Structure formats: structure tokens, C-alpha cells
């Protein structure tokens, strides 16, 4: 039986939370596991549209990001994948506080994976939900590419294999 290696997951969280786009939007991946991920954003004026509420593009980025990482744990170590689409259903506005996004795998296929996400405020009020399809492609957007791009050292092995 295989399970995610906690040393890999911890190093990966450190690495992706330092990625330029994560820093730009003040996103922080809090949790990453088999079939799920949790991401938070502490809101600031930089997230606002001209009307003083969080821009829908921020919500879309959060949904796309948390669904991507919800799929990550299900794929083989050298697999690469990229978003095919992302649907966003905005249900409420917010202008301050924290966004909490939880992504969950719906299906992991050989070539296409599907995940869903819910975005809530700190009190649990549902602000948005969405889905994303990811295409699995060898050699594209692998973790090794991220390591090279960000200048990080190699990560520990992704999986630990245990006897049943």
C-alpha cells in the first residue's frame, strides 16, 4: 500500500507557498493530501475590484489552485498535469477577512481528473463553489519543473510504500 510521504508534503507546501503567484495573491496552501487540499487567503485591498469587494478573478484563481493540488496526491510521482477548465459559481461577496478554500477529488482518471472546491469565509458562509478538470500529461508541469523554476532542492520521495 502506498501513502503520501509527510516529508515530501511538508517540503512541497514550503515550496509552493513561495511561488510568485502564491505570494502575489497572498495564498497559502495549508493542507495537501490524497484527494484533498486546503488553501487560505488573507484579504487585502489588492484583492478588491473597483467596487471594494474581492475580484471574481481572485476567487477563480483560488478554485483553480486548490482543485489542482487536490488531484496532486493521486498521481504518480513523475506525472505532470494542467488545467483544462475551471467553472466558478459566485454566491456571495466579501471585502475583508479570510478566504478558506477546500478542494476535493471527484475522479482520478488516466488522462483526465476532476475536482471540486468550496470557498467560504471564516464564519463558514459559502461564497463560491466550482469544479476543475485536469489533463494528465507526461513531461508537462511536473514537480521537477517547479523545483527547477523556483530554484529549490529536490523533494523527498512522494510516496511511502508499506506492506498490507
Contacts of 101 (CB under 8 A, 6+ apart): 38, 39, 40, 41, 62, 63, 65, 66, 117, 118, 119, 120
Average pLDDT, the chain: 97
**pLDDT tens for each residue of 15-35:** 999 999 999 999 999 999 999
At 34, which CATH number?
Answer: 3.10.129.10
**pLDDT tens for each residue of 111-157:** 999 999 999 999 999 999 999 999 999 889 999 999 999 999 999 99
**What integer pLDDT is reported at residue 163 of this predicted model?**
81
Domain that includes residue 142, residue range: 2-151
Residue 156 included in any domain: no
Residue 160 included in any domain: no
Whole-structure pTM value: 0.96
Residue 162 included in any domain: no
**What integer pLDDT is reported at residue 74 of this predicted model?**
95
Domain count, the chain: 1
Q: Are 117 and 67 in contact (CB under 8 A)?
A: yes
Amino acid at each position: 500500500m502506498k501513502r503520501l510521504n509527510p516529508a515530501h508534503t511538508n517540503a512541497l507546501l514550503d515550496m509552493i507557498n513561495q511561488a510568485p503567484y502564491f505570494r502575489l495573491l497572498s495564498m497559502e496552501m495549508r493542507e495537501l493530501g490524497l484527494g484533498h487540499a486546503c488553501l487560505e487567503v488573507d484579504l487585502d485591498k489588492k484583492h478588491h475590484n473597483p467596487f471594494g469587494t474581492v475580484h471574481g478573478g481572485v476567487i477563480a484563481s483560488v478554485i483553480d489552485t486548490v482543485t489542482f493540488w487536490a488531484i496532486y496526491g493521486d498521481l504518480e510521482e513523475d506525472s505532470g498535469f494542467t488545467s483544462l477548465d475551471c467553472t466558478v459559481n459566485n454566491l456571495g461577496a466579501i471585502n475583508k477577512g479570510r478566504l478558506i478554500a477546500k478542494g476535493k477529488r471527484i475522479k482520478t482518471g488516466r488522462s483526465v481528473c476532476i475536482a471540486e472546491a468550496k470557498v467560504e469565509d471564516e464564519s463558514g458562509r459559502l461564497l463560491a463553489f466550482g469544479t476543475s478538470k485536469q489533463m494528465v500529461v507526461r513531461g508537462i508541469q511536473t514537480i521537477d519543473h517547479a523545483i527547477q523554476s523556483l530554484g529549490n532542492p529536490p523533494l523527498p520521495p512522494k510516496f511511502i510504500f508499506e506492506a498490507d
